Homo-oligomer: A and B are copies of this chain.
């Protein structure tokens, strides 16, 4: 029905991207409480992938939201999986089809650490500092200070992009402009739970999802608060390591210095794997790293340096990697020790030799590293350091038989994904985005973070480009996740411009 409405309207003006932007902004200014209201309604529904009742409440709400825009919408199902929400909005005359991806599930919450309840959205006058104030939501038709923030689980990651895209459609319709491409929606419901059913979902519904390009609305914009388009993500692999000491906790005075100390073993092991500058010391680790293309190198060098600003924000006196920029450091493979534990520290400390110590590591991988190969290299490193490697808790006989035992578990992980910068579609997206903004956009060869985007490329074989909108300082995955209002406004303008221009730029490209 919406398509019909567009068809009856005059074609949009030719140039005038900045003009479009200000017209979208004007429309938004008159609808701020409606837009934010749609977002907070969505945020109020708990969205753990494991909470099957509530996750379906989210999905049903999204179907209704899509249908309100005239999209044909339905759930894509797979046994044992949260549903994906699918929507389709065809534009008469459009020759290219774009799938917009976002996910509607969120990370687990540690409620005790939140300043307000994770699924009860509140607005505050800025980041959560000591002086931050909670404010009442403006009355209908009112305005938001763009520096205010909405606090709730998934405010940024990843419900805001969904609401931004729908608001962009509303804005275009209101301005009498129709999208330049056919638009499909694929809203995933278990991204934060590891996307276990994603491959099956894509395979089963491949025909439905046929398209020329996937646009990903996930992840943050640049730390300079400038918009960015990203052409890749790193892969990731989680590894849990457990080293063993005595079978029961021992008095450190009577047995320490004799019973092997797992905390010390773990310290030596971790130190052997990675230095304090980020260099990974596992043999052959860098063998499969694909060198950057000239265009990627140029894009990396052109990215604004935010290192000093961030060091101030994060109270850092140094960074890893010497003079290398943040952008360079997160485009390389990484070994992040996310967690260590063994016995207790602080006021709960006790003088014991503990039975085991644990470390959780996330490896970040770049093209063409494969998780299974990295796991094999890690295992070889452990063996070389005298460890007997097991996948299950060792039994007594195993513990007695080996001087050093390590349990290595974790997830299968996934490889990186990269879209070449010199594809016609890549150039079209960059040009359309720049037209939408009225100025250059930051081009990020890979995003530092990880998403299982290789699945899309492997299963569907289409290029994939990310158009994030949310603020970088959003406490994503942690307590007090938040969305800066201006990022929502900017996102609506970017998405509206992309929808209006992408088809035309694309047609103009020589393949």
Residues of A within 8 A of B (CB): 107, 220, 234, 236, 238, 240, 245-261, 263-271, 274-276, 278, 307, 311-321, 324, 326, 329-330, 332, 334, 336-346, 348-354, 357-360, 362, 364, 396, 399-405, 447-450, 472, 475-478
Task: Specify the main secondary structure of chain A where it touches its partner.
Answer: mixed
Candidates B257, B359, B362, B402; contact of A332 at CB < 8 Å: B257
Contact yes or no, B364 A360, CB < 8 A: no
Which B residues are in CB contact (< 8 Å) with A326?
Answer: 255, 258
Contact yes or no, A318 B404, CB < 8 A: yes
Q: What are 13 A-B pairs with beta-carbon distances under 8 A? A: A245-B316, A246-B314, A252-B336, A253-B330, A253-B448, A261-B337, A264-B337, A265-B276, A315-B399, A338-B353, A339-B349, A340-B341, A351-B362
Candidates B251, B261, B269, B307; contact of A449 at CB < 8 Å: B251
Which B residues are in CB contact (< 8 Å) with A449?
Answer: 251, 253-254
Contact yes or no, B351 A236, CB < 8 A: yes
The 9 A-B residue pairs with the shortest CB-CB distance in the complex, in nearest-first order: A253-B449, A339-B343, A267-B270, A318-B403, A256-B336, A349-B360, A315-B399, A257-B334, A263-B337
Contact yes or no, B450 A349, CB < 8 A: no
Name the residue of chain B whose CB is nearest to the CB of A478: B249
Name the residue of chain B whose CB is nearest to the CB of A307: B258
**How distant is A230 from chain B, measured CB to nearest CB, in Å?**
11
**How distant is A19 from chain B, measured CB to nearest CB, in Å?**
34
Given contacts A320-B260, A344-B360, whether A312 and B400 have CB atoms under 8 Å apart is yes
Q: A247-B314, A254-B448, A338-B344 are in contact. List 17 more A-B contacts (CB 8 A).
A: A248-B478, A249-B475, A253-B364, A256-B334, A256-B364, A260-B276, A260-B319, A266-B267, A267-B270, A268-B276, A336-B351, A338-B353, A340-B340, A341-B341, A341-B344, A350-B478, A352-B478
